[in-house]
Amino acid sequence: MSSAKNRSLLDIEEKMKGLEPESLRYHILDSAKNFKTSWIELGRSLYSAWKDKLYKEWGYNNFDVYSSKEIGIRKQTALKLLRSYYFLEKEEPDYLRQGYVESTEASRVPSYESVDLLRLAKKNRNLDSQDYAKLKKEVFQEGKDARQAKKDLTMLIRQREELEPQEAFQKKKLAVLKRFLGALKSLKQQAELEKLLPYPLIKEADELIKKIQSEVS
């Protein structure tokens, strides 16, 4: 174990002193000590602290400062934990109700990154229910590594787009038009403010902007 990790654990244990073992604050710190196997419990507790703004009662102005200073978790990680836990609670409640995590080997407990990837897959319109069910099985039952799951998911999405070339082309076209529209608006505004172009050209740019807006709306 690295010295930095040792210091982090010692800091957490020091913060736990003087707290009631039954309190949520103590429970969060205890879960943070066992991040690998108890991230779900940590996410559950953090969600309660975030939702009810309990961190303010503990002397922190906002959740980011609390998660960083109290339990040593970066903002990005804390947000992923919240999103991943909330996804399980909302979309896969059976996983939590069945006590699956407690009865599963630590090496096969899905990471919060894997669950966050599952959350993103659920929202992806290029994937159907069978695709999602396959990924769900790999994450929950097989404990597939988040990096490999992401690689496989990216490949699957590309395959789906190849099966629907016209739809993929329209998506690409829309993305390019939006970028072009944004750049055109910015350049037109600059040209107007600094009087870099004559009025007829500004008017033509306005007409072009209107035409592009009709394409993307």
Question: What is the distance between the alpha carbons of residues 124 and 122, in angstroms, rounded to a whole number?
Answer: 6
First to last CA, the chain: 55
Higher-scoring residue by pLDDT: 87, 37? 87
Tokens of 69: 């200073």
pTM of the model: 0.60
Q: What is the pLDDT of residue 148?
A: 86
> Token pair 């038009």 is at which residue?
177
Question: What is the distance between the alpha carbons of residues 64 and 81, in angstroms, rounded to a whole number?
Answer: 13
Query: In terms of domains, do 87 and 122 share one?
Result: no
Lowest model confidence (mean pLDDT) among 84-93, 95-104, 198-207: 95-104
For residue 203, pLDDT over 80 is answered with yes
Number of domains in the chain: 3
Q: What is the pLDDT of residue 165?
A: 65
Do residues 140 and 114 make contact, with C-beta atoms less than 8 angstroms apart? no
Query: In terms of domains, do 192 and 158 share one?
Result: no
Query: In terms of domains, do 38 and 129 share one?
Result: no
> Token pair 């990005």 is at which residue?
76
pLDDT in tens, 139-188: 888 777 888 888 888 888 877 766 666 666 777 788 889 999 999 999 99
Query: In terms of domains, do 60 and 2 share one?
Result: yes
Query: In terms of domains, do 58 and 94 share one?
Result: yes
Would you place residue 98 in the very low, low, confident or very high pLDDT band (cuts 50, 70, 90)?
Answer: low
Query: In terms of domains, do 90 and 127 share one?
Result: no
Range of the domain at 197: 165-216
pLDDT in tens, 108-150: 678 889 899 899 888 887 788 888 888 888 888 877 788 888 8
Question: What is the distance between the alpha carbons of residues 46 and 40, in angstroms, rounded to a whole number?
Answer: 10
Q: What is the pLDDT of residue 52?
A: 94
Q: What is the pLDDT of residue 14?
A: 83
Query: In terms of domains, do 117 and 202 share one?
Result: no
Query: In terms of domains, do 143 and 175 share one?
Result: no
pLDDT in tens, 29-86: 888 877 755 788 889 899 999 999 999 999 999 999 999 999 888 889 999 999 999 9
Q: What is the pLDDT of residue 97?
A: 73
Query: In terms of domains, do 56 and 150 share one?
Result: no
Query: In terms of domains, do 155 and 117 share one?
Result: yes
Q: What is the pLDDT of residue 131?
A: 86
CA angle in degrees (0–180, nearest 5) for 198-201-205: 135
Can you list the positions of beta strands (E) in 147-216? Answer: none
- The residue out of 73, 101, 129 marking a domain boundary is 101
Question: What is the distance between the alpha carbons of residues 61 and 64, in angstroms, rounded to a whole number?
Answer: 9
